[in-house]
Amino acid sequence: MAERKPVIAGNWKMFKTGSEAKSFLAELKGKISGVQGVEVVVAPPFTALAQAAEAIKGSAIGLAAQNLHWEEQGAFTGEIAPAMLKDVGCGYVIIGHSERRQFFGESDESVNRKVKAALKHGLIPIMCVGETLAEREGGKIKEVIERQVRKGLDGLGADANLILAYEPVWAIGTGKTASPEQAEEVHLMIRELLKQTPGPDFSSRTRILYGGSVKADNIKSLMAKPNIDGALVGGAALKADSFSGIIRFKD
């Protein structure tokens, strides 16, 4: 089986100015110095990306945007193109977060276009999927996840370099975490799905993160599961203490 380096990514959502990003990252760097074998990524808002890029220079922390537009450039007021993210220092981009699907009308089709655009520009997409509580209670987990994964990855080659994040919508920002067993069940399902398309090699090397109220005190049990390769963290990624506690899950 391919070795999959764990990823701990912090999604800052609409929090932190550029100067707040700078001081947060200075503090975080101090708290995680010496940590090895974990890929750490932060996703500040667009307006804080330049200052965040400056603050992480020389460290191993990666920079992600929270969204992008699939076009190269043009008359798309308010949108940001992939090349602009590369230019500011991003190596990753979150795509299809449930808040974007829920509040900004993102569809599996637009997610797919964004994933392709990110890959074309050498950005690593962190593509999010997840079911709502109603879908879970209606026995639709498999159907929903399968559709989101298949459509989101439609047309990709087996060599595509991306990260998936399973984020049950009912667990985001609610304090309700999926149990490690509930999460592992879906991660395994996704892993099996990926074996069919894009293929077995893609399946065994692609990191699948869990997201939904991850904290320093539940990360260890999640990471103990064989198909959970890291976490996408919201609330607990905003304080250096709690985020470094998650990053240091091996301690």
Binding site for ligand PEP (CB under 6 A): 11, 167, 172-173, 211-214, 232-236
Our separate counts of H helices and E strands in the chain read: 11, 8
Q: Which residue's CB comes closest to ligand PEP? A: 234
Q: Which residue in this structure is represented by tokens 């230019």?
A: 87
Q: Which is nearer to ligand PEP, 51 or 177 (by Cβ)?
A: 177
- The H or E element containing residue 241 is helix 240-247
Q: Which is nearer to ligand PEP, 13 or 116 (by Cβ)?
A: 13
Q: Among all residues, which ones are annotated catalytic?
A: 97, 167
What residues are paired with 232 via a beta bridge?
9, 211
What residues are paired with 90 via a beta bridge?
none
Return phi, psi of residue 17, to 5°. -85, 175
CB of 232 to ligand PEP, least distance (A): 5
Q: Is 145 helix (H, G, I), strand (E, B) or coil?
A: helix
- 240-247 and 18-31 are packed helices; what angle lies between their axes, rounded to 10 degrees? 40
Q: Which is nearer to ligand PEP, 81 or 95 (by Cβ)?
A: 95
Q: Which is nearer to ligand PEP, 42 or 232 (by Cβ)?
A: 232
CB of 152 to ligand PEP, least distance (A): 16
Contacts of residue 76, Cβ cutoff 8 Å, sequence gap at least 6: 69
